[in-house]
């Protein structure tokens, strides 16, 4: 029995004429302690997939099993880093994280909780900004707060929806290492959604492409057989790395081409709503 299992998942949005099937026949299983990355084009249904796993959405058909039990609602065992940060704007950085930690460890004293908050704020190097509100932070700083909030709850499984999208290469690298660190400790399980193939290869054990929606399905998986701890500069010379990277990019280019030619033939615009786009600029 796998740690997380998705069996024949279908997800449709809307009703009647507006009904669109975003995800079709998704099958995925993740073992305990594994790090899985999913890469996909924008609008293909990655966030939808994430929300099915964390319990914010229910599948139209099929079942999501977590440790053998069907997922019903959210749980502290599955921590989420949202794509659009989702920080509460009326709370400071520290308060945002404190609120989460307090829910996760209701028995701990206030001083213990504050220590946890301070540790994680320090981990994402935001100690000077701990009393600032999200409005006063840059996009990258907000994303780091969101990362700290999810990790501070010490979830068994970390679900990350493009968590490092708004960061510069340097900070990105640091946080990738921090996430790997925390994942490696106590053998946690991780699911990473990303649009950066290199990031996927650096961090994950397996990469699975999500084919563009509607009716998005998962493509063939690519195993990354590179020893941990991995080193960015060394990896560039690794034959295995080059091969896998080329294979994934080729696969993605192919579906990209497919999509283009389909679009040319029919002239139908993809059903994309700019919801996330707007939220990113809030």
Ligand X SMILES: Nc1ncnc2c1ncn2[C@@H]1O[C@H](COP(=O)(O)OP(=O)(O)OP(=O)(O)O)[C@@H](O)[C@H]1O
The terminus-to-terminus CA distance of the chain in angstroms comes to 42
Least distance from C-beta 82 to another protein, angstroms?
A: 7
Tell me which DSSP letter residue 281 carries. T
Q: Does 58 bind ligand X (CB under 6 A)?
A: no
Q: Does 75 bind another protein (CB under 8 A)?
A: yes
Contact between 221 and 208 (Cβ < 8 Å): yes
Output phi, psi for 156, to 5 deg: -70, -35
In 3D space, the residue among 267, 266, 263, 244 whose CA is nearest the CA of residue 255 turns out to be 263
Q: Map the footprint of ligand X across residues 184-243, applying CB under 6 A.
A: 213
Which of 115, 279 has the CB closer to ligand X?
A: 279
In 3D space, the residue among 178, 164, 162, 160 whose CA is nearest the CA of residue 122 turns out to be 178
Three-point CA angle 199, 205, 206, nearest 5°: 85
Site string for Mg ion, 58-87 (x = CB under 5 A): -------------------------x----
By CB under 8 A, which span of 6-14, 99-107, 178-186, 203-211 interacts with another protein? 99-107
Q: Does 143 bind ligand X (CB under 6 A)?
A: no
Q: Does 272 bind ligand X (CB under 6 A)?
A: yes
Q: Does 277 bind another protein (CB under 8 A)?
A: no
Q: Among ligand X, another protein, Mg ion, none, what does residue 82 contact (CB within 5–8 Å per kind)? A: another protein
SS3 109: coil
How many Å apart are CA 278 and CA 275, to the nearest integer? 5
Question: How many C-beta neighbours within 10 Å does residue 264 have?
Answer: 8
Contact between 23 and 49 (Cβ < 8 Å): yes
Least distance from C-beta 172 to ligand X, angstroms?
A: 17
By CB under 8 A, which span of 7-15, 69-77, 112-120, 161-169 interacts with another protein? 69-77
Which of 39, 113 has the CB closer to another protein?
A: 113
By residue count, the chain amounts to 282
- Strands, E, within the chain: which ranges? 4-13, 20-30, 35-40, 61-66, 69-70, 78-81, 157-161, 189-194, 206-210, 222-223
Which of 24, 84 has the CB closer to another protein?
A: 84
Which of 11, 245 has the CB closer to another protein?
A: 11
Give the interface size with another protein as a residue count (CB under 8 A): 24
Q: Does 59 bind ligand X (CB under 6 A)?
A: no
Judged by CB under 6 A, the residue of 3, 10, 13, 105 near ligand X is 13
Q: Does 263 bind ligand X (CB under 6 A)?
A: no
Give the interface size with Mg ion as a residue count (CB under 5 A): 3
Binding residues for another protein (CB under 8 A) = 54-56, 73-76, 79-80, 82, 84, 86, 88-90, 99-100, 103-104, 131, 133, 135, 153, 279
């Amino acid at each position: 029995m796998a740690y997380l299992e998705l069996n024949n998942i279908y997800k449709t949005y809307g009703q009647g004429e507006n009904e669109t099937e975003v995800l079709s026949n998704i099958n995925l299983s993740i073992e305990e302690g594994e790090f899985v990355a999913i890469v996909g084009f924008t609008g293909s249904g990655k966030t939808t997939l994430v929300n099915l796993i964390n319990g914010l959405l229910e599948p139209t058909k099929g079942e999501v099993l977590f440790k053998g039990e069907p997922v019903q609602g959210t749980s502290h065992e599955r921590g989420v880093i949202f794509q659009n940060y989702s920080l509460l704007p009326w709370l400071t950085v520290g308060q945002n994280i404190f609120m989460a930690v307090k829910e996760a460890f209701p028995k701990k004293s206030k001083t213990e909780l504050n220590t946890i908050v301070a540790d994680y704020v320090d981990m994402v190097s935001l100690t000077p900004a701990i009393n600032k509100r999200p409005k006063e932070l840059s996009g990258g700083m907000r994303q780091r707060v969101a990362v700290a909030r999810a990790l501070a709850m010490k979830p068994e499984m970390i679900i990350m929806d493009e968590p490092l999208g708004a960061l510069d290469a340097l900070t990105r690298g640091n946080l990738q290492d921090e996430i790997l660190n925390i994942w490696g400790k106590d053998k946690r399980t991780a699911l990473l959604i990303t649009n950066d193939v290199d990031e996927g290869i650096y961090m994950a054990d397996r990469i699975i492409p999500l084919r563009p929606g509607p009716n998005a399905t998962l493509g063939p998986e690519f195993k990354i057989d590179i020893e941990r701890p991995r080193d960015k500069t060394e990896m560039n010379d690794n034959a295995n790395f080059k091969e896998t990277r080329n294979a994934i990019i080729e696969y993605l280019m192919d579906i990209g081409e497919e999509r283009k030619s389909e679009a040319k033939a029919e002239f139908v615009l993809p059903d994309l709503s700019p919801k996330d786009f707007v939220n990113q600029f809030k």
